[in-house]
Amino acid sequence: MKIIMPDKKFLIALCSTVLIQINLFGQNDTLRLNVKDAENYAIDHNRSMQNASFDVKKAEANQWYAISSMLPQVSGSLDYTNYLGFQMQLMGMPIDMNPTSNFTAQVALAISGQQIVSATLSRLAIEMAQTNYQKTEQSIKRQVRSVYFSILAMRNTLDLLNQNMENMRKLEAYTQETVKVGVSEQTDLDQISIQVSSLQNKLNSVGRSLEILYNSLRLLLGTTIDANIALTETIYDIVNVENVNKLLSEELSLANNLDYRLGEQNATMAKKQVHISEWSYGPTLSLFYQYKAKIQKSEFDMAPPQTIGLTLNVPIFSSGNKFVKVNEAKYSYKIALNNQEQLSDQLKTQDRQLRYNLRTSLENYDTQHKNMEVSQRVFTSISNKYEQGRASSMEITQSNINLITAQTDYIQAMLELLNAQIELEILLNK
């Protein structure tokens, strides 16, 4: 028996798919994702993406429907008639009306200018559906990246709060010992304990917010609500000042912007609608061929077995209805052109604003980074002084509050920088 080996290309593709699944899913069916993996997974499984793909297929089906209306239409019929023994009187002579039966086949064709323009319009509808698909893909990727970055920022906040909690618990334990030996007062311990409780509340709040973000990511990825997701990157891996400066050097190209491209397609479609309305003045050509086979023939059946016909229908007067429709289509086209010009101005204005936002975010990121480093040094210094009895509990709690604020502001600045970068990338279609 001859064994048929699978195609080499098929084996390579199969192995690649298996390796991708192994890389994405770790132990206990955990979905391990970096940013690019998360985007690709969402594109493959997000329901909005699936609907956008169906819209493209629906537009393709409508194109074939428009084309089929210009192709020959073939129909067939079979009939049988029985007069139930009726006799017709002709000049006093009875004539039997025998049953009749016929098979009829007909080929018909009708073509007009409106049909031809409609067929080209359906091609444009496919292009618009494809552009909308790209816009949906772009939107899904933007949402995935935004939520992914928010999770990283929230996780980083959680880590910093845990570090602060660890430091404050050490100080709390130290203060308890000093209170026991009479070196510190109970009020010092109370102040630090309140700060510890406040930190615990923040930890609980951040933990709940983090779970909400994970649920949002699961929804975008199209996974189940109980799916285990592990993000393999940190926010420090993603923030890249060099990439930000490179993006700022890119110029806006309206032709690459998906919104502008969709506006152009809308204007083209409005122009095609004008042509369709104008073709309502045009003639319609109809052609048919009919063949009739007489299975049971009546004695008085004199109809020919084959018939061919040609009709040219030319509209002459429609009480101004067609004229109004043409003008309406022309005005719609002018509106589409104005909208396109307005969109061009809006995109150019948006480009300036987004670049301003990105530069501002970059400057704020640098400032908050320096502020956090200073706050960390201040807290470390005051902690050492407190353990040496040269700083009060008020100073240590206030420096801890300042440190947490600085850390939070720094993480928020990183997140704002990443989001500002995303918005400009979408505008430039990068």
The answer to whether residue 65 sits within a structural domain is: no
- 185 inside domain: yes
Mean pLDDT comparison of 69-78, 163-172, 177-186, 332-341, highest-scoring range: 332-341
Question: pLDDT tens, 44-56?
Answer: 988 888 888 888 8
Give the pLDDT score at 28: 56
- pLDDT per position as a tens digit, 350-397: 999 999 999 999 999 999 999 999 999 998 998 888 878 788 878 888
Q: Is residue 34 part of a domain?
A: no
The per-residue pLDDT for 25 is 47
State the Cα–Cα distance between residues 154 and 400, nearest whole angstrom.
19
For 170, the domain range is 112-284+319-428
Query: Lowest-confidence range among 107-121, 216-230, 338-352?
Result: 107-121
Question: How far, in Å, CA of 259 to CA of 82, rounded?
Answer: 67
120, part of any domain: yes
Confirm whether 64 is domain-assigned: no
Into how many domains does the chain fold? 1
* pLDDT band at residue 302 using 50, 70 and 90 as cut-offs: low
Instruction: State the chain's mean pLDDT as an integer.
Output: 83
Write down the pTM of the prediction: 0.75
Q: Could you tell me if residue 29 is inside a domain?
A: no
Q: Given CA atoms 263, 266, 268, 271 in this order, what sign does their dihedral have?
A: negative
List pLDDT tens digits, range 18-73: 444 445 544 457 889 999 999 999 999 888 888 888 888 888 888 787 777 777 88
User: Could you give the 3-state DSSP secondary structure of residue 306?
Assistant: strand
Beta-sheet strands, E only, within 127-235: 229-231
pLDDT band at 12 (very low <50, low <70, confident <90, very high): very low
- 295 occurs within a structural domain: no
Q: Which of residues 208 and 24 earns the better pLDDT score?
A: 208
Is residue 373 assigned to a domain? yes
Mean predicted confidence (pLDDT) in 407-418 = 92
Contact between 404 and 378 (Cβ < 8 Å) = no
Question: In angstroms, rounded to a whole number, what is the distance separating the alpha carbons of residues 398 and 157?
Answer: 19
Q: Check which CATH number belongs to the domain holding 226 and give it.
A: 1.20.1600.10
